[in-house]
């Protein structure tokens, strides 16, 4: 019995909790991608860099706060700096819209042209970020590291295995719940939110109903920049901030948005967790879990790891391909690509 409990705790500690935290970060990122797809009808390749840009300004503001001795105690100072990062990302993205995307809207360009334009924007942001903060790894987490440490957990339960619950994981989950609840309240209950859904649903009819497309587009960008900065900051707190990883994270984020059904916000969240949990569970070494569950002599010698962590992006790719082949509209009903 204790062995089973130990195995469960081990799984929770190394697979489920990190998977859920990662899933939250992907979900917030995928929500931004899906919103832009729903309103402007293109896949925004610059989304990963938007996350990095917002996070960068959050980090700079965090440094400023830290150097002035301001902190939130056990909670990372970055949360206090978050509004600055969001503001910077919103200004950047609205400027980009005015200088780049607005031109293509006037031309009534096809989605693929937007997509290529967003690729250019991505490279521009990319350079801008490296110019301002450099390509190096930055760790900006402060406050206490754990809500529950492994040792405390062991003392509380008397089990061999400890379950640590990191502060950054707790914050990721709480902030995601707040963001998602606020977003859904906005989309479903407010007039502006409903007008965005209407625009996404049937653009021509929305225009006939007197919905102002410029306003809808502006709000979509503001929401996207906000979600991207929050997602990027949570990811950076949980792991670390390195501009290159924000380029890489674009793949699982797109996979999440498409798997869930692009254009569908609930799908984006679901997709985030599907991708995160499969990535973590496929690259997890099950050796110790199995050792708890089977008699000693049966214990495996190898790591029992399906895939090396180096190949974790292959997991998103594989799921993406399977979903596009089997159910192109995604798990929840989204637009077909």
Partner 1 sequence: MAFLIGENMTGGYGKGADILHDCTIGVEKGEIAVVVGPNGAGKSTAMKAVFGMLNIHTGRVMMDGEEITSLSPQARVQKGMGFVPQTSNVFTGMSVEENLEMGAFIRDDDIKGTMEQVFELFPILKEKRKQPAGELSGGQRQQVAVGRALMTQPKVLMLDEPTAGVSPIVMDELFDRIIEIAKTGIAILMVEQNAKQALNIADKGYVLVQGRNRYTDTGEALMADPEVRKAFLGG
Q: Which of 91, 207, 303, 306 binds partner 1 (CB under 8 A)?
A: 207
End-to-end C-alpha distance for the chain, whole angstroms: 49
Question: How far apart are the C-alpha atoms of 73 and 25, rounded to whole Å?
Answer: 23
Alpha helices in 134-249 (DSSP H): 150-157, 167-189, 191-201, 203-208, 213-238, 243-248
Q: Is 105 in the site for partner 1 (CB under 8 A)?
A: no
Task: Give least dist CB 262 to partner 1, A.
Answer: 14
Contacting partner 1 (CB under 8 A), which of 4, 139, 205, 294? 205
Size of the site for partner 1 (CB under 8 A): 15
Comparing CB distances to partner 1, the nearer of 148 and 198 is 198
**202 binds partner 1 per the rule CB under 8 A:** yes
By beta-carbon proximity to partner 1, the closer residue of 62 and 195 is 195
Is residue 48 within 8 A of residue 250, CB to CB? The reply is yes
**Sole binder of partner 1 in the list 136, 155, 201, 214 (CB under 8 A):** 201
Please identify, using beta-carbon distances, which residue of 243 and 261 lies nearer to partner 1.
261
Q: Does 1 bind partner 1 (CB under 8 A)?
A: no
Structure-token pair, residue 49 = 């860099």
- Specify the stretch interacting with partner 1 by CB under 8 A; choose among 21-29, 178-186, 201-209, 305-313: 201-209
Which value, in Å, is the radius of gyration of the alpha carbons in the chain?
Answer: 21
Nearest C-alpha neighbor of 291 from the set 301, 281, 305, 280: 301
Give the residue, chosen from 88, 121, 206, 276, that forms a contact with partner 1 under the rule CB under 8 A: 206
Q: According to CB under 8 A, which one of 41, 105, 138, 194 is a site residue for partner 1? A: 194
State the Cα–Cα distance between residues 253 and 62, nearest whole angstrom.
26
3-state SS, residue 55 = helix
Tokens 């960068």, located at residue: 56
Position among 41, 130, 138, 197 found at the interface with partner 1 (CB under 8 A): 197
Q: What's the angle, vertex CA 271, arms to CA 267 and CA 277, rounded to 5?
A: 150
- Tell me the closest approach of the beta carbon of residue 256 to partner 1, in angstroms: 21
Interactions with partner 1, residue window 152-191 (CB under 8 A):
191
Residue of the chain from 110, 144, 190, 209 that contacts partner 1 (CB under 8 A): 209
Residue 244 in contact with residue 126, Cβ under 8 Å? no
Residues forming contacts to partner 1 in the complex (CB under 8 A) are: 191, 194-195, 197-198, 201-202, 204-211
């Amino acid at each position: 019995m204790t062995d089973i409990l130990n195995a469960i705790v081990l799984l929770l500690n190394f697979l489920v909790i990190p998977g859920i935290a990662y899933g939250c970060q992907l979900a917030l990122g995928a929500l931004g991608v899906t919103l832009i797809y729903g309103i402007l009808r293109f896949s925004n390749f610059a989304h990963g860099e938007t996350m990095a840009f917002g996070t960068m300004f959050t980090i700079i503001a965090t440094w400023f706060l830290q150097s002035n001795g301001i902190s939130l105690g056990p909670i990372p100072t970055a949360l206090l700096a978050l509004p600055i990062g969001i503001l910077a990302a919103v200004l950047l993205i609205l400027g980009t819209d005015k200088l780049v995307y607005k031109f293509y809207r006037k031309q009534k360009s096809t989605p693929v042209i937007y997509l290529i334009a967003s690729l250019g924007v991505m490279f521009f942001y990319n350079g801008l970020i490296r110019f301002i903060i450099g390509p190096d790894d930055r760790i900006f987490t402060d406050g206490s590291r754990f809500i529950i440490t492994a040792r405390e957990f062991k003392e509380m339960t008397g089990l061999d295995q400890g379950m640590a619950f990191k502060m950054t994981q707790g914050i990721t989950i709480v902030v995601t719940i707040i963001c998602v609840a606020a977003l859904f309240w906005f989309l479903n209950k407010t007039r502006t939110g409903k007008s965005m859904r209407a625009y996404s649903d049937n653009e021509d009819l929305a225009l006939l109903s007197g919905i102002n497309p410029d306003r809808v587009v502006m709000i979509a960008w503001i929401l996207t920049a906000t979600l991207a900065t929050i997602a990027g900051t949570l990811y950076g707190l949980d792991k670390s901030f390195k501009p290159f990883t924000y380029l890489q994270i674009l793949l699982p984020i797109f996979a999440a948005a498409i798997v869930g059904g692009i254009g569908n916000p609930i799908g984006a969240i679901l997709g985030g967790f599907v991708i995160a949990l499969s990535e973590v569970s496929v690259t997890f070494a099950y050796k110790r879990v199995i050792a708890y569950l089977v008699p000693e002599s049966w214990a495996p010698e190898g790591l029992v790891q399906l895939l090396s962590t180096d190949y974790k992006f292959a997991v998103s790719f594989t799921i993406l391909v399977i979903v596009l082949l089997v159910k192109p509209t995604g798990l929840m009903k989204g637009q077909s690509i």
